[in-house]
């Protein structure tokens, strides 16, 4: 009963939090805002790799083919939390922003020997910025404010099946079907600053998204002898029609801070359609079981894993020219990651391991172009990542807490602007103990 209560409490808390902005990026003004960076602490720590990570203790909902790699009888429930601190600089001007947020909920389990199922709620994109400027007209002052907020959520259901299931060779395919929903708002206002009044006007554009999408994934794993394993993986998203309602509002007022005083100048609601071109990701994972060695009275079995991936994201264009500055360019990303486990047989050797020997150590690097343009130049981003995974071994299970840190920078070529940021993501993975399996099928003799 207590587990069910905790499950639904976390679920509803995340749904409530999803209505808020989870970015402080000024460029989120464009298109559908800042798209999700494949949010998971494990992926963040490995240079934001995700496509080729196959682990029975990690629910990788960014490659739906991976669901059948989950352990039989073990249900994984993941909750994620994210925080980002950004330092912006343009010439001599500096600004700091911070955005903490609950970000992810997902649940996955194996339903048959070759099949896996997952569902949950994850971030798709978000908008969040605020820019204020005051101009002296000669007699009075005018304050211009530009703000954006909102988020699009991705409610998904995924399924995978193994086509080849041999001891040394494995091939699987999978798909996620998603329902995208949420509201993104851009708002600008002007206020006449005098001692007697705060008259002004407000214009608001709200994009109310209700649409569908699909992701297709696959992986191929081949053991190379007893100590080496190579994995190739790919994810493909076909061209998608993004459907929404566009709400346009224009108001004038004698008191800008009192919404009840607004006079409506214009109010319209019309259908909006945009096209997101096809996107794809491809990557590899290489696992090497290092020679075992003895430490005092115990024997350790270390494991080294290398990851790499390349992603190509398609353009986003609107059908009718209804929103200024909406279109987004194509983008690409390269990622590299490394994971070292002093002991990969943690559950088998739990009683003899020291604290530091139970931890998974991770590091990575990535660089990417972003879909935003400034004076014809595309934003660039690069970052170093570190993190670790700590199993929760109060009971014998696959539960763990994972931390991913990103030290990154965004720049615009030939422009005096930069953003230095530190991102921290924590993912809590909960699983039943070996003697308390969820969704266990019982049979009477």
Give per-10-residue mean pLDDT for the chain (445 aa): 40 40 66 77 93 90 92 81 86 78 82 90 86 76 86 94 94 97 92 76 93 96 95 97 94 82 89 95 96 82 96 93 88 96 82 85 96 86 95 73 95 88 91 57 50
pTM of structure? 0.85
Residue 310: strand pairing partners:
282, 334
What is the pLDDT at residue 174? 97
**Assigned CATH topology for domain 2-430:** Porin (2.40.160)
Residue 60 CA: distances (Å) to CA of 144, 174, 320, 358, 444: 44, 12, 36, 22, 34
What do you get for the CA distance between the two ends of the chain, in Å? 28
**175, 61 in Cβ contact below 8 A?**
no
What pLDDT, on the 0 to 100 scale, is given for residue 287? 96
**6 SS3 class:** helix
Residue 268's H or E segment, with its range, is strand 263-276
pLDDT of residue 196: 67
Domain ranges in the chain? 2-430
Query: In this predicted structure, what is the pLDDT of residue 434?
Result: 52
* Long-range contacts (CB closer than 8 Å, 24 or more residues apart) made by 33-36: 33/125, 33/126, 33/127, 33/128, 33/148, 33/150, 33/151, 33/152, 33/184, 34/125, 34/126, 34/127, 34/128, 35/124, 35/125, 35/313, 35/371, 36/122, 36/123, 36/124, 36/125, 36/126, 36/154
Phi and psi of 318, rounded to 5°?
Answer: -90, 150
């Amino acid at each position: 009963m207590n587990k069910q209560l905790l499950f639904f409490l976390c679920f509803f808390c995340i749904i409530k939090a999803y209505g808020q902005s989870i970015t402080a990026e000024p460029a989120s003004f464009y298109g559908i805002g800042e798209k999700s960076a494949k949010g998971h602490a494990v992926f963040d720590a490995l240079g934001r790799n995700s496509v080729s990570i196959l682990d029975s203790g990690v629910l990788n909902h960014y490659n739906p083919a991976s669901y059948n790699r989950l352990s039989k009888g073990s249900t994984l429930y993941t909750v994620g939390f994210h925080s980002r601190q950004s330092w912006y600089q343009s010439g001599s001007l500096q600004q700091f922003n911070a955005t903490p947020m609950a970000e992810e909920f997902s649940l996955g389990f194996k339903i048959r020997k070759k099949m896996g199922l997952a569902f949950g709620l994850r971030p798709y994109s978000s908008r969040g910025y605020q820019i204020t400027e005051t101009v002296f007209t000669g007699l009075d002052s005018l304050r211009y404010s530009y703000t954006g907020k909102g988020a699009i959520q991705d409610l998904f259901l995924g399924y995978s099946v193994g086509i080849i299931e041999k001891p040394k060779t494995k091939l699987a395919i999978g798909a996620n079907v998603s329902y995208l929903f949420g509201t993104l708002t851009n708002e600008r206002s002007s206020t006449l600053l005098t001692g007697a009044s705060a008259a002004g006007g407000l214009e608001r554009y709200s994009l109310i998204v209700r649409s569908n999408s699909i992701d297709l994934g696959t992986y191929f794993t081949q053991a190379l002898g007893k100590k080496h394993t190579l994995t190739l993986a790919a994810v493909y998203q076909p061209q998608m029609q993004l459907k929404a309602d566009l709400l346009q509002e224009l108001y004038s007022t004698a008191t800008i801070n009192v919404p009840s005083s607004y006079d409506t100048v214009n109010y319209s609601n019309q259908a909006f359609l945009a096209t997101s071109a096809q996107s794809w990701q491809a990557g590899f994972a290489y696992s090497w079981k290092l020679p075992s060695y003895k430490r005092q009275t115990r024997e350790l079995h270390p494991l080294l894993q290398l990851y790499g991936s390349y992603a190509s994201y398609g353009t986003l264009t609107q059908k009718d020219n209804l929103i200024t500055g909406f279109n987004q360019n194509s983008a690409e990303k390269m990622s590299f990651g490394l994971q070292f486990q002093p002991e990969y047989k943690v559950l088998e050797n739990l009683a003899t391991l020291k604290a530091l020997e139970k931890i998974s150590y991770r590091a990575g690097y990535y660089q990417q172009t972003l879909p935003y343009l400034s004076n014809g130049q595309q934003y660039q981003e690069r970052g170093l990542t570190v993190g670790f995974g700590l199993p929760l071994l109060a009971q014998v299970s696959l539960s763990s807490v994972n931390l991913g840190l990103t030290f990154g920078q965004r720049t615009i070529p030939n422009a005096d602007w930069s953003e230095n940021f530190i991102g921290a993501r924590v993912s809590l993975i909960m699983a039943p103990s070996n003697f308390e399996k969820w969704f266990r099928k019982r049979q009477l003799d």
